[in-house]
Amino acid sequence: MSGQNHNQDSNPYRKSDCDRISTQEYINEYSHNYSHEHSTDSFSDIFADFEPQNTTDGSYRGTMAKIKATELKYQEIFEQKLAEANTNLKRDRIRVRIKQTGLSLQLRATLPLKPDDFNTSLGKTKKQYDISLGIPANLEGLKTAIEESYELGKLIARHTFVWNDKYLGIRLREKNRKKQQIKTIGELLDKFEENYYKTRQKTVTSQNTFANYISVIKRNFPLNTLATKDNFEKVINPSQGNKKNELIAVSSVFIKTFQLGFTLDVKRDRVTPSYREIPDDQKIINSFELFEKFALNRKNTNICDETDTWEMWRWVYGMLATYGLRPREIFVKPDINWWMSAQNKDNTWKVHKDTKTGYREVIPFVPEWIELFDLKNPQPLKILDRKISKITSVQSINWMRRDISRWFRKVGIQFQPYDLRHACAIRSHLQGIPIKAASDNLGHTADEHTKTYQRWFGIENRKKAFGEVMGQKSLIELQKNEIIALRMENEKLRLEVEKLRFRGEG
């Protein structure tokens, strides 16, 4: 049907056309054409060309900023699709419009007066009504609204519209009554993923976030209890610290996803991390050697993971120590070809865009460790490639991430994988690298970077920093004294020259 040539024959609601095809057949035909042009039958690709504004903030605040950007993009797309739907309804001469009211979609049309809505004083027999059919204001709901608009439009064109239970809202009231029956947390959890991704982009990062939400809910909330405000708060309020803050964050997302109609009266705890000692360079180097010692001394085993992967985990250790990477940044679609390429003269590691803070190239904090830890050895990279090829889900990546900690314990390393990242933050400060450059390299904000090295800046590092400053101060003083001595020597020589010149003239 041409959008520019609308003659009488093109009207889909002429009597002869309506006699030939049923309502459902027309809707099916329309849906096929509309979905072909506008992809409304499947919204899985609505974020295909969308990239949230890249951020180097890996904190809760940064994550929420990306989520907010995605939600705004979704709303923008929804409003665009709603406008397109109304344009097409007008183009096809359908006397119905779709409007959004709050969280619902309604059909607006001029219809015969309702049975209880007499307007005899004006002598009118028709009036404009907004019909609520319980359609949610999202992209899936928009598909339903479009179908209902064509259904209603056909009745209007045929002059066969009557106020029945559907349009009077009797069914809707009954549906809402049933809907208001509160479900258990477990019942909602079964539909959590479906509802969650209706307004979010499905990426490796978002899948990992969602997997954590599911885990938190299952571990902490009784699934057979009703999803009420009191029941959520009964679990959250007795908790403390990071656990409480996590429960608040996850519960808020859950409540918002299902529009449960309440907000939690809880406050986040202010958490001060306990102190821990970050390994110095010598300890990091010594710990690297523990992997080979483990391999030489381990008992015979037929388990593949025990016999041929220690080299890969040692390589992972070296990368974490040298580049300050998050463990996930090694396993999410690593660009091994670039890493081994002769063009990679600066030895940068490319972090994939599907990770926590997006794409970036990472410069080594300790370039000499690339050779010391044999990070260009192809053997561990072959094992890594084999492991990566078996990744089928976000859960697979989580298992590999947990395996790093397991290997640390296995070989006897006395610190955590993330401590290597913190060590890079501290080292960059001692090296005098500008905060912005170091924080960008690590993939977090300058504020987070400062917090990190201030938080874990122990007494030994303070001594080192003071020693370097004092050493530099002593060197400067020495250089100043040398300059003064040279000036005095220069002045002495100048005077000698003047004396010789005076004698020569005499």
Mind listing the pLDDT tens digit for each residue in 45-67? 555 455 555 554 455 566 666 66
Is 444 assigned a catalytic role?
Answer: yes
Of 73, 314, 421, 427, which is the active-site residue? 421
Give residue 39's pLDDT band: very low, low, confident or very high (50, 70, 90).
Answer: very low
Q: Answer yes or no: do 190 and 51 share one domain.
A: no
Give the per-residue pLDDT at 482: 72
Q: Which of 81, 143, 356, 449 is catalytic?
A: 356
**Domain contains 412:** yes
- Residue 246, pLDDT score: 92
Angstrom distance (rounded) from CA 196 to CA 129? 33
- Does residue 270 lie in a domain region? no
d(CA 423, CA 429): 10
Alpha carbon separation from 220 to 184, 229, 257, 259, 358 (Å, rounded):
14, 15, 19, 21, 31
356 catalytic? Reply is yes
User: Average pLDDT for residues 151-167, to the nearest whole number?
Assistant: 90
* 86/97 Cα distance (integer angstroms): 6
- Residue 433 confidence (pLDDT): 84
Q: Which candidate in 73, 81, 350, 444 is catalytic?
A: 444
Same domain (yes/no): 417, 316: yes
pLDDT in tens, 332-377: 999 999 999 999 999 999 999 888 788 999 999 999 999 999 999 9
Note whether residue 104 is domain-resident.
yes
Q: What integer pLDDT is reported at residue 245 of this predicted model? A: 92
103-122 pLDDT, tens digit each: 889 999 999 888 777 655 55
Higher local confidence (pLDDT), 101 or 37: 101
pLDDT band at 453 (very low <50, low <70, confident <90, very high): low
What average pLDDT does this structure show over 193-214?
A: 83
Domain-ending residue, one of 179, 212, 229? 179
Q: Does residue 59 sit in the same domain as residue 22?
A: yes
Q: Please tell me which residue in 143, 314, 326, 350 is annotated as part of the active site.
A: 326
Mark whether 90 is an active-site residue: no
The 3-state DSSP class for residue 380 equals helix
The answer to whether residues 367 and 429 belong to one domain is yes
- pLDDT bucket at 463, cuts 50 / 70 / 90: low
More confident residue, 54 or 252: 252
pLDDT at 7 (0 to 100)? 40
Q: What was the pLDDT predicted at 414?
A: 92
The confidence score (pLDDT) of residue 21 equals 36
* Statement to judge: residues 226 and 244 lie in one domain: yes
pLDDT at 400 over 80: yes
Q: Where are the alpha helices (DSSP H) in 237-309?
A: 241-258, 281-288, 290-297, 304-307
Q: Would the pLDDT of 173 be above 80?
A: no
Give the CA distances from residue 446 to residues 423, 435, 436, 499, in Å, rounded to whole numbers and listed in that order.
16, 6, 6, 62
List the CATH number of the domain containing 436: 1.10.443
143 is catalytic: no
Per-residue pLDDT for 143 more than 70? yes
Q: How many CA atoms lie within 13 A of 82 on its CB side?
A: 21
Residues 175 and 150 occupy one common structural domain: yes
Reply yes or no on whether the pLDDT at 459 is more than 70: no
Q: What is the pLDDT of residue 6?
A: 41
272 located within any domain: no
| 389 within a domain of the structure (yes/no) | yes
Per DSSP, what are the bridge partners of residue 129? 109
Among 432, 457, 482, which residue terminates a domain?
A: 457
Residue 435 in domain: yes
**3-state SS assignment for residue 315:** helix
State residue 460's pLDDT score.
Answer: 56
Q: Which domain holds residue 470?
A: 462-506
Concatenate the DSSP letters of all residues of 330-355 into one string: HHSS--HHHHH-TT-TT--EEEPTTS
pLDDT band at 393 (very low <50, low <70, confident <90, very high): confident
* Mean pLDDT computed over every residue of the chain: 79
Which one is predicted more confidently, 274 or 30? 274
Same domain, residue pair 63 and 96:
yes
Whether 217 and 330 map to the same domain: the answer is no
DSSP per-residue codes, 119-183: -TTTT--EEEEEEEEEEESSHHHHHHHHHHHHHHHHHHHHT-----HHHHTHHHHHHHHHHTSPP
pLDDT in tens, 408-423: 999 999 999 999 998 9
Q: Is 95 a catalytic site residue?
A: no
| 163 and 245 share one domain | no
Do 206 and 343 fall within a single domain?
no
Q: How many domains does the chain have?
A: 4
